[in-house]
Structure 1
Amino acid sequence: MQTPGALAYPGGIGAAPLASLAQRVGDLRAALSQLAEIADETSGIKIARLQETLRAFEPAITLIGQVKSGKTTLVNAMAGVPDLLPADVNPWTSVVTSLHLSPEGAELGRGARFQFFEADEWDRLLSKGGRIGELASRAGAHEELDRIRDQVEAMRRKSRDRLGRKFELLLGQTHEYEGYDRELIERYICLGDAVDAKAGSVLASGQGRFADITRSADLYLRQDGLPLPICLRDTPGVNDTFMMREQITVRAIRDSRICVVVLSAHQALTSVDMALIRLISNVRAREVVIFVNRIDELSDPSAQVPEIEQSIRQTLKDQHAPAEIEIIFGSALWGVHALRGALSELPADSAQALLNWAKGRPPEARRSGTPAETVWRLSGVPDLFATLSYRIAEGAGRDLVDKVSRSALNFANGLTKSASGPGDPRPVSARIDRSALEDEIVALATRQFRSLDVALEELVESYRKRIDRAHESFVERATESLLSHLERNGDGVVWEYSPTGLRMLLRSAYTVFGTATQQALQRVMEAAARDLGDLYARAFGAAPEDFAPHLPAAPRVPPPVFLGQTIVLDVKGRWWSSWWRRWRGYKALAQNFHDLIRAETAPMVAELKEAQAEELCRTATGVLDEFLDEQRAILIGIMEGCEAGNTAGVIPGDDDGATRRRMLKNTLATLTRCAA
């Protein structure tokens, strides 16, 4: 039951771009339904896939930040359910938690799904201590390695205390529930304290029972105020002891088109925040938003916020992050209190900060409304939601509508050339049989795939050479800098060297390769379109220009987020000092540094050279394959219409074809409008 004075779901505030996108998706869905009614069997299967693509659209927003930055409270505010995810337990959220919000009428109900780590991931943690263990091992930090082994052993004991001796059998499993409550969520995603005589209540309550081995959580619920489904992804704090979850966070960012970096206003940028900024420096500005949370903890937010923003801007510049990243200030705490209708429960300092912030806001932010509505606006959450709505509409949403519209237009144009009724002005007739047409299509596809393969092989070879040159150049420059330092200062002064230069060189090489891959694909598809026009002319006696398919847009190049992952040069303090003191003599120090940095950066380089290159090539080949498969279905559909005496796809009772022509005309108009 809703508390008197509380807000109903306010996600619609600022969601105008999403509402507009929902309208376009609805129009597109209706056009596809009409198209399916008059499609031949072959085209009908492809159109059904386009309908499924629309149905499955769920843009993801990933929130990242350090522990206790208020990510979970912010997620709850954005979801409109202030107490959905536990935000007041200690310790904190430990897994990637995806909150799937569906609008009214959606098929998904309220359910939950929890996925455990695979055995190899867990073994890697236990045997090597995760990423931190790998860094310490390479750096020869034996004291640090001993400490990590102790922590891993304590983690193993804690897991066995909670789950029993055969807890490893749970690895790789999935637990699913038709519903959930707070207790169930805490059992899987909130790390509890060790179970001992002082904390026996933890075992009794179940808090954190599976959290050590839970890899991800998916929670589903309906939120009628939303125009479209969205996914809010709450990630664990990246200051994870073993950095296992840093890797999970990196993957979560890669899987999302939008990332929200949550910082705390009440503290200066920490080394953890710097790690976050390193991650987002490899993401396009339009795909990143910084939300500076907890301004309710500032003594004078109106005066302090501009200073904080200036500091963040300078840090972004220093880290070579995109300068256009939008920064929004607010308080998730104010937001959830507004949702609850519990403004009187705000702490006194927070309430005073709210009044201070309100006085410094423009009049439109303090326009008339209920107190809860005013506080909601001042919380910054609707500003964040408006920004995210726009980014979704102009990013993933536009790409979706564009992709589906182009494909649907191709099928609609194909239908205008097949199943011609008596009233159709330009009926077609087959000049070759179906078997010959199939052979021609196969030959065309083989030719174009070979052309793309040759182009991509040349690009990959050049790209890998550039990566190797950048890697070697960095290691040599760093070693030279070390030697210069030793000559000037001796080995009594610890030397530091930033890996920013390497990251910039690698990112530049990757960006150039991604663009070149897109261009190569575009050239091949244009050639394929010309060949398809020629084939259409030979097969059906028409002009080649009568068959001009809409080409798919170039696929998105995923950001190289992993370039921001922590490496040994990012880790300052006693590790580096310990490694430094371990070697005596300039030659030994320089050689071991050379070997250390080469080994530490090798996985990053290999990821770019192999996995990323392979993914981009696979994506490009997949786009061409999908395009040619679509065109095959269209040409075969035209052939089937000719073989059926121009009756395939004709609506029963539509003897003169007028209904079919009208449906096609309306569908083409809708699709053209959607694709604009």
Structure 2
Amino acid sequence: MNNKTQSAEKSGHATLENAGRNRQAACDLADLTHEMSAACPDETGALQKISANILPDPLSVMIVGQVKVGKSKFLNGLTGRGGLLPSDVNPLTTVLTHLHFNHTPDRQSGADFHFYNSQEWQALTQPDASEPKQIHEHAEQLVSRAQTRFGNHLPDLLGATHQFNPVTPEVLAQYVSSGQEGAEQYDDLIRAADVCFSTAPFPGAIRFTDTPGVNDPCLIRDKITWAAIGDADYYLVILSAHQAMSRMDESLLKVLKEKGSGRAVIFINRIDELSNCIRDAKLLQRSVQNDITRIFGGAPAAVLCGSAQWAHVAETGEGTDAVREKAEAWVEANPTLKRQFETGLAKGEHSEFYQEEMAVSRYQALVASGIPQLRRFFSKILLTRFADLNTEEQVGEVLEIAERHLSSVRKVTDDTSDVQMDVHVDEVILDEVGICLEEEQALLALQLHEDIDALRGELVAGYGASDPSPSAEIAADPEAEIPLPDELENLRLNFISGIQSVKLDLIAGIQHSKEGLCASFPDFLPLQKTETDSSILRRFSPDARILWREAAAMAQASWTSRLFHRKHTRPSADAVVNELLEAAETALLSHTDIVFRHYLAAISGNLPDEVSKASDNSARILQAETFVNALRELQKNIDINPHKMDQSQ
């Protein structure tokens, strides 16, 4: 590898590294801003203004292709929602269906189904005289079917929105698919559907739009799809391996060139149905790429091939032995896929995805499907959109608001501190509760220390152990940081996993302590009514920056001679692991203290009269302090570049 190539790779890693840190900071800041908006009503306007610019706009991807080419089943596989969208032999998607992932903090589940309003319904069902005769016939059929189903209730439905939370495959089939009949089958009346999800295999907000498809026998649905083209960032064109680049496909691509605002990504589906997929799919991929270059006057963003059916096997576990064998043969015949599969097995990804005896087979079907390649393609686009975000400035602005809010609630407390308050019997009990909480917190601290010690032994014992996780594969993952040496990457993964387990045990211990208090003070109602707020612990992410500091040292000295020479192995392992765990334990203890203080203050806030007012102020102070501390921690993480390498190397 020449110096120019190395320099380009290093620059690319630095861009992704910066984007990754910006992404995490932006997501954390978005969550904090959302929480603060509810807790700081006087600052809502300022927070909303900042919130609108924290995260990049969602990446919009429209799925287009001929009808029945397998778009819905493919989209189920791409988003990891096997069986969500209707995709059997009979159902047809008849509605523009927008799937929103990582949408907004306040909307992470459920679905909205928007009916045509009166004007839109009239325009759809009364086409112009210039329209083809078949359009008019289909419009008449649409009106007749709607009147049969809904009768006099039809006007009441027009302009309405039906909302569901959660949304099920059965509900989606009822609203977006023509595959079933019934009095409450609404697909003919639905203009668009919006379905929201909290998580996705993508590092940012993304919206996929499933379309009815072109060349639909129902010309009205065909017309809807053609009209939708023009407002997406990317068009994911699904071609069938049986008839890729037919006349209709060429017509679609030419319209995308003329009307489409984004770039085209081509996915050749159903290669599993080819008689010799290993030979024919590669030839087909090359042929399609040449055709796309001819139509667009340049190479497409990507031309990939695979099988939505293999993705369906991976997601649901359904599929015949013949289907699985073909997926295995496809992976074995492609060195890149084979390396990805073997690396995933070495990392245990198959066990993370699929907890059953067919895990290896299902994981192999996923790799064969082409879905992971496409996910990485869109993930890299999403990640690079974070690279130019000025998160440092945004965190500073939100921190100013948090500090202003903290000063405000402290002033309220100071103004009421001279008020003479009556002593209630509840205050005596509250003192006893406070003592019990201190004891519970001390016990949890001891348990935490024991858990950290146990984890320390595991990490030191596994430090430097063989773990085939090639840095080339890590670098290929757009969500990964700049690659670490294998030993440090193995340690990082084990450290994060171990701390996650310790954190969950700690949260469970806090809840157990609360339940014990309620049993000890059965007549003290504030205990029963008040919940512990462990959100600061749930958001906690351990600091692993020392590992990149060690990686930087690797550029200056031989890693093998410096750390893994026999007489130096144990002290170096102890030093690295101890620094990681000491920082994590200190942070977890600090966060636990905030949770207990907030809980005690919240209990106090349920007391009556002036005591209640003062205690409520105390709870607000603790909450405001939590915001300030979290933002300062976020600011500190942004200010320090943990991956800065020696530029002289």
**TM-score, structure 2 as length reference:** 0.51
Shift of 1:214: 0.8
Which residue of structure 1 aligns with residue 293 of structure 2? 317
1:385 aligns with 2:375: yes
Among residues 160, 174, 199, which one is paired with 2:161 in the alignment? 174
Which residue of structure 2 aligns with residue 374 of structure 1? 364
For 1:284 and 1:673, locate their aligned partners in 2 and report how far apart those are by CA, in whole Å. 40
Mean CA deviation greater in 365-374 or 211-220: 365-374
Shift of 1:210: 1.2
Q: Do the aligned residues in 2 keep the contact of 1:97 with 1:235 (CA within 8 Å)?
A: yes
For 1:225 and 1:361, locate their aligned partners in 2 and report how far apart those are by CA, in whole Å. 24
For 2:331 and 2:366, locate their aligned partners in 1 and report how far apart those are by CA, in whole Å. 11
Shift of 1:152: 2.2
For 1:245 and 1:116, locate their aligned partners in 2 and report how far apart those are by CA, in whole Å. 15
Return the letter of the residue paired with 1:310.
R
For 1:34 and 1:160, locate their aligned partners in 2 and report how far apart those are by CA, in whole Å. 47
For 1:407 and 1:251, locate their aligned partners in 2 and report how far apart those are by CA, in whole Å. 39
Shift of 1:252: 5.3
Among residues 326, 332, 339, which one is paired with 1:364 in the alignment? 339
For 1:210 and 1:35, locate their aligned partners in 2 and report how far apart those are by CA, in whole Å. 40
Which residue of structure 2 aligns with residue 670 of structure 1? 638
Measured against aligned partners, the alpha-carbon deviations of 1:294-314 in whole angstroms (never above 9, x if no partner) come to: 111111112112322233223
Q: Which runs of 5+ in 1 are unaligned?
A: 1-14, 137-144, 194-201, 416-651, 653-659
Shift of 1:669: 8.8
Distance verdict in 2 for CA 1:321–1:154, change over 3 Å: farther
Which residue of structure 1 aligns with residue 23 of structure 2? 22
Shift of 1:164: 1.7
Q: Do the aligned residues in 2 keep the contact of 1:17 with 1:389 (CA within 8 Å)?
A: no
Distance verdict in 2 for CA 1:122–1:23, change over 3 Å: same
Shift of 1:358: 2.5
Among residues 146, 152, 173, which one is paired with 1:159 in the alignment? 146
Measured against aligned partners, the alpha-carbon deviations of 1:388-440 in whole angstroms (never above 9, x if no partner) come to: 10112224x446x35x666777999999xxxxxxxxxxxxxxxxxxxxxxxxx
Report the count of equivalent residues. 393
Distance verdict in 2 for CA 1:386–1:17, change over 3 Å: farther
Root mean square deviation of aligned Cα: 4.8
Which residue of structure 1 aligns with residue 118 of structure 2? 119
Aligned-partner SS, 2:64 = strand
Distance verdict in 2 for CA 1:380–1:329, change over 3 Å: same
Return the letter of the residue paired with 1:390.
K
Which residue of structure 2 aligns with residue 72 of structure 1? 72
Q: Do the aligned residues in 1 keep the contact of 2:324 with 2:361 (CA within 8 Å)?
A: no
Q: Do the aligned residues in 2 keep the contact of 1:65 with 1:71 (CA within 8 Å)?
A: yes
Distance verdict in 2 for CA 1:274–1:88, change over 3 Å: same
Aligned-partner SS, 2:197 = strand
Distance verdict in 2 for CA 1:352–1:300, change over 3 Å: farther
Which residue of structure 1 aligns with residue 214 of structure 2? 238
Return the letter of the residue paired with 1:298.
L
What pairs up with 1:280-291 in 2 under 5 angstroms?
280-282=256-258, 287-291=263-267
Return the letter of the residue paired with 1:25.
A
1:331 aligns with 2:318: no
Distance verdict in 2 for CA 1:47–1:91, change over 3 Å: closer
Q: Do the aligned residues in 2 keep the contact of 1:258 with 1:391 (CA within 8 Å)?
A: no
Q: Which runs of 5+ in 2 are unaligned?
A: 1-15, 351-359, 403-620, 622-627, 645-649
What pairs up with 1:592-671 in 2 under 5 angstroms?
667=635, 670=638
Aligned-partner SS, 1:154 = helix
For 1:290 and 1:224, locate their aligned partners in 2 and report how far apart those are by CA, in whole Å. 21
Distance verdict in 2 for CA 1:285–1:273, change over 3 Å: same
Distance verdict in 2 for CA 1:302–1:665, change over 3 Å: closer
1:221 aligns with 2:220: no
Q: Do the aligned residues in 1 keep the contact of 2:62 with 2:236 (CA within 8 Å)?
A: yes
Distance verdict in 2 for CA 1:115–1:411, change over 3 Å: closer
Measured against aligned partners, the alpha-carbon deviations of 1:464-506 in whole angstroms (never above 9, x if no partner) come to: xxxxxxxxxxxxxxxxxxxxxxxxxxxxxxxxxxxxxxxxxxx
Among residues 224, 234, 237, which one is paired with 1:261 in the alignment? 237
Return the letter of the residue paired with 2:96.
V
For 2:309 and 2:113, locate their aligned partners in 1 and report how far apart those are by CA, in whole Å. 27
1:394 aligns with 2:394: no
For 1:203 and 1:35, locate their aligned partners in 2 and report how far apart those are by CA, in whole Å. 46
For 2:281 and 2:632, locate their aligned partners in 1 and report how far apart those are by CA, in whole Å. 56
Distance verdict in 2 for CA 1:338–1:276, change over 3 Å: same
Shift of 1:241: 5.3
Distance verdict in 2 for CA 1:218–1:409, change over 3 Å: same
What pairs up with 1:480-629 in 2 under 5 angstroms?
none
Q: Do the aligned residues in 1 keep the contact of 2:95 with 2:211 (CA within 8 Å)?
A: yes
Aligned-partner SS, 1:120 = helix
Measured against aligned partners, the alpha-carbon deviations of 1:578-610 in whole angstroms (never above 9, x if no partner) come to: xxxxxxxxxxxxxxxxxxxxxxxxxxxxxxxxx
Among residues 290, 299, 303, which one is paired with 2:279 in the alignment? 303
Shift of 1:108: 3.6
Q: Do the aligned residues in 2 keep the contact of 1:31 with 1:671 (CA within 8 Å)?
A: no
Distance verdict in 2 for CA 1:304–1:187, change over 3 Å: same
Return the letter of the residue paired with 1:182.
P
Structure showing greater relative contact order (alpha-carbon pairs closer than 8 Å, 6 or more residues apart): 1
Distance verdict in 2 for CA 1:183–1:381, change over 3 Å: same
Q: Do the aligned residues in 1 keep the contact of 2:244 with 2:268 (CA within 8 Å)?
A: no
For 1:35 and 1:110, locate their aligned partners in 2 and report how far apart those are by CA, in whole Å. 21
Which residue of structure 2 aligns with residue 435 of structure 1? none
Q: Do the aligned residues in 2 keep the contact of 1:299 with 1:353 (CA within 8 Å)?
A: no
Which residue of structure 2 aligns with residue 582 of structure 1? none
For 1:34 and 1:181, locate their aligned partners in 2 and report how far apart those are by CA, in whole Å. 29
Distance verdict in 2 for CA 1:265–1:666, change over 3 Å: closer
Q: Do the aligned residues in 1 keep the contact of 2:233 with 2:261 (CA within 8 Å)?
A: no
Return the letter of the residue paired with 1:124.
A
For 1:111 and 1:34, locate their aligned partners in 2 and report how far apart those are by CA, in whole Å. 21
Aligned-partner SS, 1:164 = helix
Return the letter of the residue paired with 1:330.
G
Which residue of structure 2 aligns with residue 203 of structure 1? 182
Shift of 1:235: 1.5
**TM-score, structure 1 as length reference:** 0.49
Aligned-partner SS, 1:122 = helix
Which residue of structure 1 aligns with residue 495 of structure 2? none
Distance verdict in 2 for CA 1:89–1:306, change over 3 Å: closer
1:62 aligns with 2:41: no
Which residue of structure 1 aligns with residue 92 of structure 2? 92
Which residue of structure 2 aligns with residue 50 of structure 1? 50
Which residue of structure 2 aligns with residue 459 of structure 1? none
Measured against aligned partners, the alpha-carbon deviations of 1:296-336 in whole angstroms (never above 9, x if no partner) come to: 11111121123222332232233225414201111111111
Q: Do the aligned residues in 2 keep the contact of 1:17 with 1:393 (CA within 8 Å)?
A: no
For 1:251 and 1:307, locate their aligned partners in 2 and report how far apart those are by CA, in whole Å. 33
Which residue of structure 2 aligns with residue 423 of structure 1? none
For 1:389 and 1:80, locate their aligned partners in 2 and report how far apart those are by CA, in whole Å. 14
Q: Do the aligned residues in 2 keep the contact of 1:61 with 1:231 (CA within 8 Å)?
A: yes
Distance verdict in 2 for CA 1:109–1:318, change over 3 Å: closer
For 1:393 and 1:75, locate their aligned partners in 2 and report how far apart those are by CA, in whole Å. 21
For 2:261 and 2:297, locate their aligned partners in 1 and report how far apart those are by CA, in whole Å. 8
Aligned-partner SS, 1:99 = strand
Which residue of structure 2 aligns with residue 274 of structure 1? 250
Mean CA deviation greater in 310-319 or 324-333: 310-319
Aligned-partner SS, 2:195 = strand
Aligned-partner SS, 1:54 = coil
For 2:32 and 2:149, locate their aligned partners in 1 and report how far apart those are by CA, in whole Å. 54
Distance verdict in 2 for CA 1:28–1:149, change over 3 Å: closer
For 1:365 and 1:290, locate their aligned partners in 2 and report how far apart those are by CA, in whole Å. 21
